[in-house]
């Protein structure tokens, strides 16, 4: 069981029960002001660009075109084509195979092939 409370007033705004590892909201009675999109962000996130990237990460890195379809109000002064995510770009990189080698090790672990990320 989980009880949801308003951050400022402390009053209960909902209950959720756990089922199969997820919490399901029961009888939601959220006030209309909490349906505002800005209610889902912390006070430290101020720009629409930051909000778009937060949604992008929380929703599993969908394309920014999809984010624009879901949250068009965040793209009033933002171009979806100008946004790029480093994680998405790195995830699409392929591993380069090891070059063919004629070296033969004379003892165990004398010649080790590894794949390492980073500098």
Pick the residue with more confidence: 41 or 70?
70
pTM higher than 0.85, yes or no?
Answer: no
pLDDT band at 13 (very low <50, low <70, confident <90, very high): confident
CA distances from residue 61 to 16, 34, 77, 91, 109 in whole angstroms, order as listed: 26, 25, 21, 11, 39
- pLDDT tens digits, one per residue of 60-108: 999 999 999 998 988 988 998 899 999 888 888 777 776 777 777 788 8
């Amino acid at each position: 069981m989980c009880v949801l409370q308003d951050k400022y007033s402390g009053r209960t705004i909902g209950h959720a029960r756990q089922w199969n590892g997820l919490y399901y909201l029961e009888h939601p009675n959220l006030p209309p002001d909490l349906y505002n999109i800005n209610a889902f962000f912390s006070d430290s996130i101020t720009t629409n660009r930051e909000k778009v990237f937060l949604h992008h990460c929380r929703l599993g890195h969908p394309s920014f075109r999809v984010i624009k379809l879901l949250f068009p109000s965040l793209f009033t002064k933002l171009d979806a084509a100008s946004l790029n995510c480093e994680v998405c770009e790195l995830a699409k990189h392929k591993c380069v195979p090891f070059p063919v080698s004629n070296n033969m090790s004379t003892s165990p672990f004398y010649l080790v092939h590894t794949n390492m990320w980073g500098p």
